[in-house]
Amino acid sequence: MKSFLAFIWEIAKIVIIALLIVVPIRYFIFQPFFVKGQSMEPNFGSGDYLIIDEITYRFRPPQRGEVVVFRYPDDPSQRYIKRIIGLPGETIEIEEGKVIIYNEQGGRMLKESDYLSSSVFTSGNLRITLDGNEFFVLGDNRAASADSRGWGPLPQENIVGRTLIRVWPFVVFAKIKVPNY
């Protein structure tokens, strides 16, 4: 009986130590995320399993081109995944399928050939200026994406984290790269 209780105690210690290590990492540093829907195809498909980095944005702001997971502004219980296009203080204009960014350096058309095919058309005609804590996000599959064109700027406090690694499907296991603009 004594050896059985010692065995149970050893198992309990292992479980407690594992929980003390895994739970803080899972809830404060990295988080899993399943992609649902077609809004980020072909770069991320429905069912892709991603690891989200929740700590980087505590040390630096999000950058253009990063793919982020965030709480949807109209229903914070839902998580969305989109690409950051516009940064705080910039003016974003969409006209005739082109995305133009205006900031203190002037205006320039956004070069998205690193992650979008040339056949992708960005619908809509809008011009929006972002406040100091807002971002403009778009899905990579513009025709099937609910994004900032429809519901407006994304407040920074809604951002959960940036995509770090695609774990599944395993054949496309990779660190997520940020395009150069």
Q: Which of 6, 115, 136, 11 is nearest to 62 (CA)?
A: 136
* DSSP E strand boundaries for 37-171: 49-53, 67-71, 79-86, 91-95, 98-103, 106-109, 126-129, 134-138, 154-155, 159-168
Catalytic residues: 39, 82
Amino acid at 159: I
Find residue 128's DSSP bridge partners.
Answer: 92
DSSP secondary structure code for residue 141 in this structure: S
